[in-house]
Amino acid sequence: MRCRLLTLIAVALFLPAGIKAQSSVTLRASVSETVNISVLPNSIDADVINVGNTVRLTLSSTDSPVIRVPLVVRSNSGFKISAIFESKTAVLSQIAVDDVRATGGLVSPQVVNALNLKSYDDPDTSQPLFVASGPRVSLGGTLNSSNNALQITVVIRLKPESPRESLIHLTFAATPESLIQ
């Protein structure tokens, strides 16, 4: 009995010396980079298909040679927006960003001034056209929150000789872009 008691005391004294208390825990997690674009509801006379990071507009006729597209952008990372113009009869003369504004308090305060915008005169429409890029837009909220988006108005100008009854397809695509190279 005495032997067992001495063994128990020895284990009780020497075991804690071999066990170190863990003083810190490191937890690493990441959130998927998300960019979502849409067109401001009821803002343009076109068939609009919004699918996450892509907006496709189909205009069947244009009374005006100027088309204004108010894009709504939400992102939790840097982003890049490109445009594709397709038409068999209408000819694109210019694409440019006309206006940029924050929609509320959950928009990053530096995003408007940090945007990289591009405009084109007589652009080559055989390839996607870079429209804009910038840092994270949304500081919180969801993809449906009204106060966490950036509204970017893109102006499309058609050549005056373009037929009024032209079928035009405009596709805007947004992709996450890491600002750290």
- pLDDT at position 139 over 70: yes
What is the mean pLDDT of the segment spanning 126-154?
A: 94
Distance of alpha carbon 127 from alpha carbon 132, whole angstroms = 16
What is the mean pLDDT of the segment spanning 13-28?
A: 63
- pLDDT at position 8 over 60: no
Most confident of 5-14, 19-28, 164-173: 164-173
Query: C-alpha dihedral over 131, 136, 56, 83, to 10 degrees?
Result: 20
Distance of alpha carbon 177 from alpha carbon 150, whole angstroms = 16
Tokens standing for 165?
A: 């009854």
Query: Tens of pLDDT along 36-67?
Result: 999 988 888 889 999 989 999 999 866 788 99
- pLDDT at position 162 over 90: no
Query: In the prediction, which pLDDT does 165 show?
Result: 79
64: left (phi > 0), else alpha (psi -120 to 50), else beta?
Answer: beta
Query: In the prediction, which pLDDT does 7 show?
Result: 63
Q: Is 17 exposed, middle or buried (0-12, 13-18, 19+ CB in 10 A)?
A: exposed
Query: Tens of pLDDT along 120-138?
Result: 999 999 999 999 999 999 9
- pLDDT at position 17 over 50: yes
Q: For the chain, what are the domain ranges?
A: 32-176
What is the mean pLDDT of the segment spanning 125-153?
A: 94
pLDDT exceeding 70 applies to what percent of the chain?
A: 83
Residues 152, 100 contacting (CB under 8 angstroms): yes
Q: pLDDT tier at 79 (50, 70, 90 boundaries)? A: very high
- pLDDT at position 23 over 60: yes
Domain 32-176: CATH architecture, name and number where available:
Sandwich (2.60)
